[in-house]
Structure 1
Amino acid sequence: MRVLVVDDSALMRRWLKECFASEPGIESLTARDGKDALAKLDSFDPDVVTLDINMPEMDGLTCLAQIMARAPRPVVMLSSLTDAGALATLEALELGAVDYIAKPSGTVSHDLKLIFPQILAKVRAAARIRVTGPKRPSRRPAAPPRPDAGPRPAAAPQGAARHDLVLIGSSTGGPKALEAVLFPLGPDFPVPILIAQHMPKRFTKVFAERLTQQGALPVIEVTGPTELRPGAAYLAQGDADVQVSRRRDRLVATPVPANPELVWNPSVNHMVATAQAVLPPGRLLAVLLTGMGDDGAAAMTRLHQAGGTTIAQSEASSAIFGMPRALIEAGGASRIIDVDRIAYTLMRLVAG
């Protein structure tokens, strides 16, 4: 596997090149900025590009757009844990980047080697993704046309829905998948939606704001005890887990300290398990979207076995099929659906 490392910091380039050199089967080359990267793109022909966002001469977003136009391939962004870095990263994902790595301590992260196992896992996963170029999401389109599907069902009157809560878990590739699921929905959707997306705290704040601005369904970051109301989606705060409880017959989501024994946070397994503890399984709808690993598969399988409805994103529409695959192989998926059909399916199910 060939990896092109693009970063304006000589220290970052040296560290990453040394780390990749220690891995058998990986050849790496470095570039000091976007212009240098484009000059080396054809001759080196990398399988994956790691691309810093903030660079002189040509920044990461401009370089990414050029890569996607000239020779699309998997790109993993490196960004700082700031609001500006989070916003630029989300823009990069819309432009075609497949994943991102948050530098733990700024533009020049002296502790970058500590997260190299995470970097390596994301680069290896990215190498398996087939990239065809950027696809900007539409803004609240009608339900995808399908000859045998009939018209888009009207949302059930609030209080008449067949479910009390929709749970969605996602990881790598999740931001794009969540846009595909949420944008067709509006404030008339009669069931609250709670989302656990593997993402740092700084990113979830910006991501919730961006989803709200671009779609019709308001998306609220869960920063404290939050009542879950119909007509809105709730995004679990990063670097924590989210817990569902009942207070005076109202559903409430609360951020709780992340379990150090869990690899991913916010944990999909934790979210689903706490929801099942306070609601009958038949009143829950759970969706497992694209992502590395198997987070969510165990809890959703138990929910399915108890009578709940679970949906796994199809392999063909997943950036990384790890999490949905784990659910399907465990026998825990009630349905397997392409991502652009999930919103329509949710509307049909909650309306009965």
Structure 2
Amino acid sequence: MPIKVLVVDDSALIRSLLGTIIKAEKDLLLVGAAPDAYAARELINQFSPDVITLDIEMPKVDGLTFLEKLMKARPTPVVMISTLTEQGADATLRALELGAIDFIAKPKLDIAQGIEQYRVLILEKIRMAATAKVKKTEKAKISSQLTMGFSGTEKIIAVGASTGGTEAIKDFLVQLPVNSPAVVITQHMPPGFTTSFAKRLDSLCRLKVQEVVGGERILPGNAYLAPGNYHLSIKRSGADYIAQLLDSERVSGHKPSVDVMFQSLSSCAAKNTVAVILTGMGKDGAAGMYNLHQNGAYTFAQDEASCVVFGMPKEAINLGGVDEVLPLNDLAAAVVKRLQKINAGSRV
């Protein structure tokens, strides 16, 4: 059975472009192209689409309001069509919070090569969304009891994620105590979106969350997010760990890449690292986590039931690089417990 796709966008040009892309694929079926939420509602009731592409900026009822109502009444995998602006990034993060599976920026319609890249990317996201778990919006179970009995610069928590990761990272970070060891994070996101994501996390967490600019000393009580279009690498400088940005080729199809971050830690801090791989499509991070594990790091993976997409964790598990597989809501407590254990007797 083909994947039934509904396009919802107020731009006739975008509706035409997405419609043409979808109709050319044998495994996809375009069931409609709606200019607004009212037309979309009728088509949803008529065709029960498997995936919806949804524009954030629409007349009458905006995309976020429509998405919120859709997720309450008829949860459906949604790929948001977003603008590459700060306002667009903020709205996209809100959409992911409301239950959207993923997002893609609006295409640059004047560049032929850009359209081809867009075609490949939107098809990948539609097919992935059709297999993803739609999660009803609910607040994470936050344990206010998590405490850390030590504070020092020696330990690092490393987190990698992709599809579904913005909410998973938030749910993980908000549980960590204020004196937690430093957290380094790679989430697959484009430039600009990571800036908004870091600000949002900083407003919600007890840790200070910042987007890396390069050269930061990695300190406890802080979380460091890789910026879009740069790899985050950690190096040792005397007794300190330093964040550095690499403007090199994509790795595992991504920039930033989880593999790059994990591999750097494997080289300089494996025995002082607790690594976590969260929901995401593909295999980025699996090889890096395996190397970390082999060099003495303790490693966790999010379990299938709590993942939006059980791709990256599954690949890491299959490679043999994971010590424990746990539900998302249990990971923070398990990481803190492990850090308390490995820190016994360490210099603080």
CA contact (8 A) 1:188 1:231 kept: yes
CA deviations 1:40-59 (Å, max 9, x no partner) are: 11101100100011111221
Matches within 5 A, 1:1-352: 1-28=3-30, 29-105=32-108, 111-137=114-140, 141-142=142-143, 152=145, 154-159=147-152, 164-189=155-180, 191-260=181-250, 262-279=252-269, 281-352=270-341
CA contact (8 A) 2:146 2:177 kept: no
One-letter identity of the residue aligned with 1:273: Q
Q: Distance in 1 between matches of 2:309 and 2:317?
A: 14
CA deviations 1:256-283 (Å, max 9, x no partner) are: 104245401211111111112222x221
CA contact (8 A) 1:156 1:350 kept: no
The residue matched to 1:78 in structure 2 has which SS?
Answer: strand
112 and 39 in structure 1: CA distance in 2 versus 1, 3 angstrom threshold? farther
257 and 192 in structure 1: CA distance in 2 versus 1, 3 angstrom threshold? same
Shift of 1:344: 0.3
347 and 132 in structure 1: CA distance in 2 versus 1, 3 angstrom threshold? closer
Q: Distance in 2 between matches of 1:235 and 1:255?
A: 11
Compare 249-258 and 171-180 and name the one that shifted more. 249-258
Number of residue pairs matched by the alignment: 337
CA contact (8 A) 1:79 1:101 kept: yes
132 and 308 in structure 1: CA distance in 2 versus 1, 3 angstrom threshold? closer
One-letter identity of the residue aligned with 1:90: L
109 and 18 in structure 1: CA distance in 2 versus 1, 3 angstrom threshold? same
304 and 90 in structure 1: CA distance in 2 versus 1, 3 angstrom threshold? same
CA contact (8 A) 2:134 2:308 kept: no
Shift of 1:63: 1.1
Q: Distance in 2 between matches of 1:325 and 1:215?
A: 28
64 and 274 in structure 1: CA distance in 2 versus 1, 3 angstrom threshold? same
Q: Calculate the TM-score normalised by the size of structure 2.
A: 0.92
Q: Distance in 1 between matches of 2:108 and 2:148?
A: 46
Shift of 1:326: 0.2
Q: Distance in 2 between matches of 1:136 and 1:345?
A: 20
One-letter identity of the residue aligned with 2:287: A
The residue matched to 1:134 in structure 2 has which SS?
Answer: coil
Q: Calculate the TM-score normalised by the size of structure 1.
A: 0.91
Shift of 1:67: 0.9
One-letter identity of the residue aligned with 2:177: G
CA contact (8 A) 2:302 2:327 kept: yes
CA contact (8 A) 1:258 1:266 kept: no
Q: Distance in 2 between matches of 1:132 and 1:320?
A: 11
Gaps of 5+ in 2: 342-348
Shift of 1:232: 1.1
103 and 142 in structure 1: CA distance in 2 versus 1, 3 angstrom threshold? same
The residue matched to 2:167 in structure 1 has which SS?
Answer: helix
112 and 133 in structure 1: CA distance in 2 versus 1, 3 angstrom threshold? farther
CA contact (8 A) 1:38 1:63 kept: no
The residue matched to 2:305 in structure 1 has which SS?
Answer: coil
Q: Match of 1:146? A: none
Q: Match of 1:148? A: none
The residue matched to 1:196 in structure 2 has which SS?
Answer: strand
Compare 242-251 and 317-326 and name the one that shifted more. 242-251
One-letter identity of the residue aligned with 2:125: K
CA contact (8 A) 1:103 1:109 kept: no
One-letter identity of the residue aligned with 2:18: L
Shift of 1:104: 4.5
